[in-house]
Amino acid sequence: MGLFNFFKKSPAAKHPGFAPYKDSSANAIYNLLFCDNLNLYNTNQQPPYTYPFDVLFSETSSVADLQKITDNSTADPRIKVLAYNKMLSAGHKPANKEILAVIVEVGLDGGLDVLASFSNGTARYINQTGKILVWETTTDEKANELTSNLFSASAGIVNQIGPWDKPRCPHPPKGNARITFLVSDGLYFGEGAVNVLFNDAMASPALMHATQLMQYLTEKSLQQIKQ
């Protein structure tokens, strides 16, 4: 489990949000991917808040109220992560273990490449240049198959490691890769040199599926632009 325990020895990193890109909108999208700062979601909403944001933003929402959000199988995975995180901060550990997002970051010469895949088949891809691909389709059979493969491989990792118990670390530097899992009981991740992590017996299957998904989404998006 070496790569996935390495950063448990690192100091906590407090952050209002990290800025790996020159463009502020790319940085905003990047930080929203991790669903670990409810205030970032609050800035995009205007009162009076509608459901489920009225529950998420309320200081008096109960575990039962939050449980209704997490029990909704059609809810946006990001909303479910926010609800799970609020439950965890209140000291309530969910009974189920549900992987809701897999995020792969690779530090390249030109910047940070990021793919975020969500359990409902949606995705976000931020190129090292800061260009953003938003994939909101949930009915593309090939994309859903690739997403399912990625989450199956990710489950094998999550089942062997524990959640990170400190604030999220800064984005990986050039030459490093990181794979993060947003799970109902917290954030899990592993990081290492790109060539090491992509050849790691535990990480490589998930990273392979993530690469296939990223390639498919970018090719599909380019085809749609040409039509």
Q: Cβ of 190: how many Cβ atoms within 10 Å?
A: 24
The β-bridge partners of 183 are 99, 186
- Band (37; pLDDT cuts 50, 70, 90): very high
pLDDT value at position 119? 98
- Band (173; pLDDT cuts 50, 70, 90): very high
pLDDT value at position 226? 67
Residue 43, pLDDT above cutoff 90: no
- Band (4; pLDDT cuts 50, 70, 90): very low
Q: Cβ of 25: how many Cβ atoms within 10 Å?
A: 10
Distance in angstroms (rounded) separating the CA atoms of residues 185 and 111: 31
The pLDDT tens digits of the residues spanning 75-130 come to 999 999 999 999 999 999 998 999 999 999 999 999 999 999 999 999 999 999 99
The pLDDT tens digits of the residues spanning 48-77 come to 999 999 999 999 999 999 999 999 999 999
In the numeric block, the tokens 């020895």 are attached to 9
